[in-house]
A and B are shown apart, each in its own frame.
Chain A
Amino acid sequence: MNAITIDHLRKTYGAFVALDDLTLAIPQGSVFGLLGPNGAGKTTTFKCMLGLVRPDGGTTRFADQTFSPAVLDRIAYVPERSVLYEGMTVAEHIEMQRRAYSKFDADRARELVKGFGIPDLRRKTGKLSKGMRTAVAVALAFSRSAEVLVLDEPTSGLDPVNQRTVLNLIVNEAASGNTVVFSSHQVGHVERAAERIAIMKDGRIALEGMVDDLKADRKIVEGIMPDDSATVAALNGNPHVRRVERNGRILRAFASGDAGAIAEALSAGGAAGVRIVDLDLEDIFFDAVAPASSTADLVEA
Chain B
Amino acid sequence: MAYFEFLRVRNVLKNLAIVLVVMFLLAGALRLLHASGSIVVGDDSGNVRGSGSTQVTRIHLATGDTQTTVDDAKKHVHAVFVTPKDHPGTMTLNSASAGVDVALFFGAATIVALVIASILAAVFSSQNRNHLEIAFMWPVTRERTALSAIGIDVAGILASLLMGTVAALAIASLFVHVSLLWLPTSAATVVLAIVAPVAWYALLLAASSSLRSFGAVAGIGWAAGLLLPGFAQIPVQNPTSTMALVVATLRVLAHFDPLAYLRFSSETPHGGIAGSPELALAFLVPLAIIYLAAAVLQWRRVEA
Q: Which residues of A contact B (CB under 8 A)?
A: 47, 50-54, 69-73, 75, 77, 79, 83-85, 87-88, 92, 95-96, 99-102
Contacts and interface: CB of A to CB of B under 8 A. Distances in A.
Interface in B197-247: none
A72 B304 contact: no
B131 interface: yes
B130 to A, nearest CB: 6
Contact of B132 (A52, A54, A88): A52
B43 interface: no
Given A54-B303, A77-B133, A83-B131, A72 B4 contact: no
B7 interface: yes
Interface in B87-141: 130-134, 136-141
Query: Lowest 3 CB-CB distances: which A-B pairs, in order?
Result: A52-B304, A73-B139, A72-B139
Contacts of A54: 303
Nearest to A101: B139
A69 B4 CA distance: 19
28 contacts: A50-B136, A50-B137, A52-B136, A52-B137, A52-B304, A54-B303, A69-B138, A69-B139, A69-B142, A70-B139, A71-B139, A72-B138, A73-B139, A83-B130, A83-B131, A84-B134, A85-B4, A87-B8, A87-B11, A88-B7, A92-B3, A96-B4, A99-B2, A99-B3, A100-B138, A100-B139, A101-B139, A102-B139
Nearest to B4: A85
Interface in B135-162: 136-142
A53 B141 contact: no
Contacts of B140: 69
A79 B8 CA distance: 23
A101 B137 CA distance: 10
A102 B138 CA distance: 11
Interface string B262-291: 000000000000000000000000000000
A237 to B, nearest CB: 45
Contacts of B141: 69
A85 B131 contact: yes
Contact of A52 (B11, B138, B303): B303
B132 A83 contact: yes
A96 B136 CA distance: 14
B138 A83 contact: no
Contact of A95 (B3, B132, B133): B3
B137 A72 contact: yes
B139 A47 contact: no
A47 B304 contact: yes
A77 B137 contact: yes
B146 to A, nearest CB: 12
Given A50-B137, A52-B137, A72-B137, 5 more contacts: A47-B303, A52-B133, A72-B139, A85-B134, A95-B3
Specify which of A53, A75, A77, A83 lies most central, judged by the most chain B CB atoms within 10 Å of its CB. A83
A79 B134 CA distance: 9
Nearest to A72: B139
B303 A53 contact: yes
Contacts of B8: 87
A92 B7 contact: yes
B168 to A, nearest CB: 30
B299 to A, nearest CB: 14
Given A83-B130, A88-B7, A51 B139 contact: no
B6 to A, nearest CB: 9
A73 B133 CA distance: 14
A75 B136 CA distance: 12
Contacts of B4: 85, 88, 96
A71 B141 CA distance: 11
Nearest to A47: B304
Nearest to B2: A99
Contacts of B131: 83, 85
A83 B134 contact: yes
Contacts of A99: 2-3
A83 B3 contact: no
Specify which of B131, B133, B141, B304 lies most central, judged by the most chain A CB atoms within 10 Å of its CB. B133
Nearest to A80: B133
A87 B136 CA distance: 19
Contacts of A101: 139
A64 B269 CA distance: 66
